[in-house]
Structure 1
Amino acid sequence: MEPIRRLPQDQRSLASGVPDAVPGTVFVLSVEGGVSADPGAHRTILFGRNRAEVHVSVGEDDQRVSRMHGSISYRGGQWWVAVTGRLPVRFPREQMLFGGEDPMPLAAGYTPLFVQGSSGREHLLQVYVVGESGSRPVLRPRDPTQPPRTWQLSPQEKLALIVVGQRYLLHDLHPLPLSWRQAADQLAELRPDENWTGKRVEHLVSNVRTRLSRDGVPGLTREEVGEPVGNALNDNLFRTLLLTTTLVPRDLDVLDD
């Protein structure tokens, strides 16, 4: 059997799993087709724009994608992604890998990679590494949906966070939190009897940030982020609150009351 094999032409996705295979087998797929490869020393899958030079072509109509944009190689019992192209590859959680940087390892299971292209385009490269069980995930279409973990907020904390983070809830392209003074002025208009000040807003938001950090949420302390901090701590806080649906866009209705 060939160490690198073409996937069937009707293969459209790896997100639902792959056929049973030897642990460590990797599947790589783009809209132009894909391959699978057994684990083995010095085994490498190349991806990029030039179909004649790579195993998996991606972004064939996009000249910002390099002809040989990167590779997925097996060494040390693991598959690693390396970028040789001019533009980076985006991993989940917004992590970027640039050309010339150390390769990044692939975990078992499904990983979507996004090859950066022109005019904001991103070309999907699906990767699936078979885990130790060698089997696909169990489908559970009738199982109850597992809700995300949401964080308990006091009414005052939630109101302050909605006002400070309203640009995140409004889906601004590059959101920033309001300053403590801006938020206090708006809160004073909404609730004139509650003695809102910039210091009070800062204290409420900082308490939430400290509480989440103690519960294991990363990126909410100066020690983790490093100097200069800028808006990084509150930016990380609001992204966490939105991803966990602790805050949702309909919370903005309180600003219209």
Structure 2
Amino acid sequence: MKQESLARGVPHAAPGAIVARTLAARLHVDPAEGRTVRFGRNRPDVDLCVGETDLRVSRRHGLLTHRGGHWWVANTGQSPIRLPRARWLFRDEDSVPLPSGYTPLFVPGSGDREHLLELYVADDRDTPVPPRADSVTQPPTRWRLTPDERLVLVVLGQRYLLHEADPQPVSRQQAALMLAELQPESSWSAKRVEHVVADVRTRLSAHGVPGLLREEIGEPVGNTLNNNLLRELVLTTTLVPPDLALLDTLSWD
């Protein structure tokens, strides 16, 4: 199942507006001094619900505030909020300004689960541009994946989608175990995982993506080929953080 994501942009938002999205809801708020957006587990008491059934998520876990021309995020919950590149925001710490564009926040839940809150702060680049009827059409950058390919690559690249610092692919053996849990009726093995991934690498290489073939890298190869593949898929928003919902039925504890 393909998931929509704010990582692909917000084309019709006014400069300074913030768009927030969880797996279940989406909110668009225009900028105004002092305007706030509350998020947390208690749906009746927040503007955006996240982790509704997870008691590790606080009823009011965080706050977005517009002041001084910027949006700021603060933690009002019991557990820290993880920002990209392994930065943690704790309760009672100073709020953090959000940059323009896309920022995923991860709220820790039960076991190893993390609940995704996507944020997008619009700037002048997100306003509509005049028609350019005579301009050369830009080809799409997102790559087409089959459902099996997407599932395998989300399992393999989950650390990239979690925006961890210096992420590495999950091993083929671990990926096969996770896929067997997600699809017990299918015969997943490390060899089948590698076959699926190799097919995608070969296809993208034929379309001009560099660094996906062994002869381009040289020995030792290690994780380089899959690392290059996953970075390409994340950079082109072929894979986006909401795709992690494909893993929701895993046993995280």
CA distance in 2, matches of 1:89, 1:15: 19
Q: Which residue matches 2:197?
A: none
2:65 maps to 1:92: no
Q: Which residue matches 2:203?
A: none
Work out which structure has the larger RCO, using CA pairs closer than 8 Å and 6 or more positions apart in sequence: 2
1:177-211, Cα deviation, whole Å (9 max, x unpaired): xxxxxxxxxxxxxxxxxxxxxxxxxxxxxxxxxxx
CA distance in 1, matches of 2:46, 2:70: 21
Structure 1 residue corresponding to 2:64, chosen from 65, 69, 72: 72
CA distance in 2, matches of 1:113, 1:18: 17
Q: How does 1:78-157 map to 2 (within 5 A)?
A: 78-135=70-127, 141-142=140-141
Q: For 2:85, what is the secondary structure of its paired residue?
A: helix
Change in Cα spacing, 1:121 to 1:39, as seen in structure 2 (3 Å) is same
Q: Which residue matches 1:249?
A: 222
Q: Is the 8 A contact 1:12 1:31 kept in 2?
A: no
Q: For 1:46, what is the secondary structure of its paired residue?
A: strand
For residue 140 of structure 1, report the CA deviation from its aligned partner: 5.3
Q: For 1:81, what is the secondary structure of its paired residue?
A: strand
For residue 120 of structure 1, report the CA deviation from its aligned partner: 1.2
Q: Cα RMSD (Å) of the superposition?
A: 3.1
Change in Cα spacing, 1:15 to 1:250, as seen in structure 2 (3 Å) is closer
CA distance in 2, matches of 1:139, 1:98: 43
CA distance in 1, matches of 2:55, 2:138: 39
Q: Is the 8 A contact 1:49 1:66 kept in 2?
A: yes
1:10-46, Cα deviation, whole Å (9 max, x unpaired): x942111113121000000001202111111110000
2:44 maps to 1:52: yes
For residue 169 of structure 1, report the CA deviation from its aligned partner: 9.2
Q: Which residue matches 1:32?
A: 24
Q: Is the 8 A contact 2:10 2:126 kept in 1?
A: no
Q: Which residue matches 1:177?
A: none
CA distance in 2, matches of 1:142, 1:41: 37
Change in Cα spacing, 1:113 to 1:47, as seen in structure 2 (3 Å) is same
Q: For 1:120, what is the secondary structure of its paired residue?
A: coil
Q: Which runs of 5+ in 1 are unaligned?
A: 1-10, 144-167, 172-244, 252-257
For residue 79 of structure 1, report the CA deviation from its aligned partner: 0.3
Change in Cα spacing, 1:121 to 1:248, as seen in structure 2 (3 Å) is farther
Aligned-residue identity in percent: 47
Q: Which runs of 5+ in 2 are unaligned?
A: 130-136, 143-167, 172-216, 225-253
TM-score normalised by L of structure 1: 0.50
TM-score normalised by L of structure 2: 0.51
Moved over 6 A (4+): 136-139, 168-171
1:78-127, Cα deviation, whole Å (9 max, x unpaired): 00000010111111101110111000111001111101111011000000
Change in Cα spacing, 1:248 to 1:59, as seen in structure 2 (3 Å) is farther
Q: For 2:45, what is the secondary structure of its paired residue?
A: coil
Structure label with greater radius of gyration: 1
Change in Cα spacing, 1:170 to 1:112, as seen in structure 2 (3 Å) is closer
Change in Cα spacing, 1:77 to 1:118, as seen in structure 2 (3 Å) is same
Q: For 1:41, what is the secondary structure of its paired residue?
A: coil
